[in-house]
Amino acid sequence: FWDVEDCAIMSNKHPYVCERDADDIGCIVNNGHDYSGQANVTETSKACLPWGSAQVTAALKYRVSETTFRNTLSGHNHCRNIAGSDSQPWCFVQDGTSITKEACDIPSCSVRESRIASERSAGDVTCGPNLFACELNECIPSAWVCDGQPDCKNGYDELNCTGGLSQFQQQKTSRLVEHDREKWLHTSAANCATRCLEARDFVCRSFSHYGKDQICLLSDSNVGLSGKLKADQSEWDYYERISHSVDCSDKFRCSNGKCINSTSTCNGRNDCGDRSDERNCSAANLGYEIRLGGSNITHEGRIEIKILGEWGYVCDDQFDLRDAEVVCREVGFSLGAAEIRPHSAFVPLNTSKTLFLVDDLQCRGNETSIRECDFGGWGVHDCGNEEVVGVVCKVPGKVCANNFWQCERSSECIPNNFLCDNIPDCEDGSDEDVTRCKQPVAVRLVGSKEGRSLTTIAGRVEIRRFGIWGTICDDDFEEAEATVVCHSLGYKGPAKSRKEAAYGAGQGIIWLDGVHCSGNESSVDSCLHQEWGQSDCKHQEDVSVICSLDTDDIDILGGKKTPPIEDVPNNLADDILPDDCGTVDEELKYQTTDFTPKVVQGQEITRGTIPWQASLRVRTSIKSIHWCGAVILSPLHILTSAHCLQDYTKSAYFVRVGDFDSEVPEGSEQEHDIETIYIHEDYGRGLRLSNDVALIRLKGRGLEFSSYVRAVCLPPAATVYVTGTNC
């Protein structure tokens, strides 16, 4: 019987010579990193194993990505130079029970060129117009030549391709960053140039090429436009398209190579990206001056800037302590800043027009002038009249402001939240003292003149953190919070809170604000609260508690049962509400308007005709916003909807009255923080927002009534409401 055997891979020697058609395996250029021919025999005449066989797959595990395997190795046993990492294409062959890697026998394209040329001259094949002759009996479209992908079986279409490199200027060991638009793998620099020139979806102005792995990154920018060229990038080369290079002859060239208009220098804006356009701008050339104003205290006030003959302000957007440090040192206070005063604290409310010269100031803290910091440019801003920022600078011997702590052996003040944060902020390092930072949190009651009895104890709540005693603000501090404090002190009976420094105002840090307890926490610091040391309260708002033992403890002591702690007597409505309500000044009552009504059954109103109207507002990081409408009941009481008070903590809200145009200061506005919120006890019962009403008590002395601030009248207590009546 006869056996069929391929002469090219005969495993046995035979005493005869077979003749067969030669396999067209193509040729390789350089190390054959882009070879895609059909060679499948090694230099020792061994047959290549399929790349998908079990042994080969196991050998390639973790060495070749799934994408590379799927695109270049799947479904065949042809020789390949994976990622161009070897000197020539190779494959795996069987070696007994194991497999081994062997190089393939593929001719170099330079050797084959002469043969191809002679075959072509023989006239065996003639390709038509717009076609390219690969070799015998093969033509491809001319557009496929030198496109980075071998289309001829012999790879002849990619030989001697210089591409459009002559149209690019090369800069070695450099790469343009942040502007990549396309990425091509296994692409030579010449073919990368062709890709750039033929890009259709964007204007390709440059490319970066990584020679080791033949990676091509096309970019829509260049050095002159972006200044984003990174030097000392090993294996990378940068190529800039000459026809798209920026002519910088009549422009300012930045240190990073970017070109900008000469008029853009010394405008305060970082147009170059490296601030080289702002480095040589003297204060004299700009007419620059800086001072603090709006206060009779020399070390505090609003920041006032003069540029080119005009004085203006700094906006509080993104303004932080690092910016304030630079300002204070620049105006002559070498100790730096103690406090920031945003929201136009030093500017009268009736300012009609505010000129802002600096917005979004971003200092590192080590600059000598804000001219060296980043910001949007002189006079470029989006700020309103209520956003003028001020500062309080440190001076020797002065007590630190609220929310700040004074270093032990220096006059420095640092924010409370800088204590024990593992970063020394005081020159003497006292803010990171190990003994202090490891002290546990503790609570005590002080200030009660009656002292303690066997059954009760009362006083101002003081809490110790990092060895420093401070107080707790009375905002939101109710019975549940008082219960937690009393239980932590061993008093398990009824507990009550007392507000407005009932047992005297404390001193030092106000450690906690916005405390919310469920009532079963082991200590008050375990309750929800704002960040330690962050508070908008004064010591007149220090909270106090009255604690008592429970009845079991009293029986053990042999004492009398604890009488209930009486609530503060409820004020009657007649004692709270003003005598005059629901009235409008005569000169305001009959003013008319020519505006056409915009709301059904509504009409435009004039300023002062609804003086009991109030605005419940919410503080944001930029400015406050109107949240809900409200009405004035008394100097201390505001009525609004309960659902308006569900989204934020109490400290986020405040009330504004006397305001007609919220965008224009009119001089009649008053703003007050909230002391207590009373939600209707049956609010939300059922499927609708039933009983959607809330009463707000304001902090301090309350509102000052005027022509633009007055109380609304409440209906008589005996009024009967018919079900279904629309209010």
CA separation for the pair 543, 531 (Å, rounded): 18
Rounded Cα–Cα distance for residues 184 and 554 (Å): 84
Evaluate whether 77 touches 50 at the Cβ level (below 8 Å). Answer: yes
User: What pLDDT was estimated at residue 127?
Assistant: 83
- Side chain identity at residue 58, one-letter code: A
Contact 685, 691 (CB under 8 A): yes
Helices (H) and strands (E) in the chain, counts: 12, 33
The predicted structure's pLDDT at residue 547: 92
Which candidate, 468, 469, 467, places its Cα nearest to that of 459?
469
DSSP strands (E only) in 549-669: 613-619, 624-632, 637-640, 653-657
DSSP 8-state class, residue 558: T
Q: Do domains 19-108 and 608-726 have the same CATH topology?
A: no
Q: Cα-flanking dihedrals φ and ψ of residue 58, to 5°?
A: -65, -40
Mean pLDDT by 10 residues, the chain (727 residues): 60 64 81 87 92 89 80 89 86 91 86 48 64 81 74 78 81 93 90 90 95 93 94 92 92 92 83 84 83 90 90 91 92 88 77 81 89 86 89 78 74 78 85 88 84 77 91 92 93 91 88 91 91 85 91 52 44 66 68 44 73 89 82 93 84 89 83 88 72 88 88 84 71
According to CATH, the topology of domain 289-346+356-394 is: Mac-2 Binding Protein (3.10.250)
Give the integer Cα–Cα distance in Å for 483 and 526.
13
Residues forming a β-bridge with 390: 302, 341
Q: What is the DSSP string of 100-161?
A: EEEEB---BHHHHHHHHHHHHHTTS----TTEEEEETTEEEEGGGTTSSS--STT-GGGTT-
* Calpha distance 664→354 (Å, rounded): 11
Cβ pair 497, 543 in contact under 8 A: yes
Cα–Cα distance, 270 to 278 (Å, whole number): 7
CATH superfamily of 19-108: Plasminogen Kringle 4 (2.40.20.10)
Strand partners, 241: 168
Q: Is 201 helix (H, G, I), strand (E, B) or coil?
A: coil
Say what the pLDDT of residue 204 is: 96
Q: What is the pLDDT of residue 562?
A: 43
Q: What is the DSSP letter of 70?
A: I
The architecture of the domain spanning 608-726 is: Beta Barrel (2.40)
Burial of 559 (0-12, 13-18, 19+ CB in 10 A): middle
CA 685/CA 691 separation, integer angstroms: 8
Output the pTM of the full model: 0.38
Cβ(438)–Cβ(449) below 8 Å? no
Q: Exposure pattern of 150-177 as b/e (b: 16+ CB <10 Å)?
A: bbbbbbbbbbebebbbeebeebeebbbe
DSSP H stretches of helix in 381-454: 434-437
Contacts of 131-138 spanning 24+ positions with Cβ under 8 A:
132/157
Question: Between the CA atoms of 413, 417, 419 and 424, what dihedral angle is there, to the nearest 10 degrees?
Answer: -70
Q: DSSP letter at 73?
A: I
Q: Say if residues 114 and 102 touch (Cβ distance below 8 Å).
A: no
Q: Which fold has domain 165-244?
A: Hepatocyte Growth Factor (3.50.4)
Domain range summary for the chain, segments of one domain joined by +: 19-108, 165-244, 289-346+356-394, 439-448+457-548, 608-726
CATH of 439-448+457-548, picked from 3.40.50.1260, 2.60.120.380, 3.40.50.10470, 3.10.250.10, is 3.10.250.10
- Provide, for the chain, the percentages of residues in helix, strand and coil under a 3-state DSSP scheme, each rounded to the nearest 5: 20, 25, 55
Q: Where are the beta strands (DSSP E) in 258-328?
A: 259-260, 289-293, 300-307, 310-314
What is the pLDDT, as a whole number, of residue 5? 67
